[in-house]
Amino acid sequence: MSDVFCKVDDKNIPVYRIMWLADVPHFCGEEDCMREGQYEIRLEQGESVWANREERDRTLEAIERWAGMPPEDEDPDAEPW
Ligand SMILES: [Zn+2]
């Protein structure tokens, strides 16, 4: 399988269509909310898909691979902890 796609909620999403990923699970307080505890992944054109934590983490990894992110120890802007 190509690194260009990541699988979320049984859909293969091209990583270049992803605008952002939620860092925390969705919570809006509505009693009938179907998305509580899921992570929103926003796509171009206002579409969203909803991922569980594992899918969200895999998606992040896929984006990093696709973007060719350098290893952390080579990042000159890395802040010391
Ligand atoms: Zn909600």
CATH number at residue 27: 2.40.50
**CA of 37 relative to ligand 1 center, distance in Å:** 9
CA 9 – ligand 1 centroid, Å:
17
pLDDT for res 61? 92
Summarize pLDDT for 2-20 with one digit per residue, the tens: 578 999 999 999 999 999 9
How many whole angstroms from 32 Cα to the centroid of ligand 1? 8
Q: In this structure, are residues 39 and 49 in contact, taking their beta carbons and an 8 Å threshold?
A: no
**Which whole-number Å values give the CA distances from 4 to 40, 48, 62, 71, in the listed order?**
19, 18, 7, 19
Let me know if residue 37 belongs to a domain. yes
User: Is 45 inside any structural domain?
Assistant: yes
Q: How confident is the model at residue 71 (pLDDT cuts 50, 70, 90)?
A: low
Ligand 1 mean position, distance from CA 10 (Å): 21
pLDDT at residue number 68:
86
CA of 59 to the centre of ligand 1 (A): 21
Host domain of residue 27: 5-69
Cβ–Cβ < 8 Å for 40, 50: yes
Higher-confidence residue of 67 and 38: namely 38
Mean pLDDT rounded to a whole number for the chain: 88
The answer to the question of residue 15 being in a domain is: yes
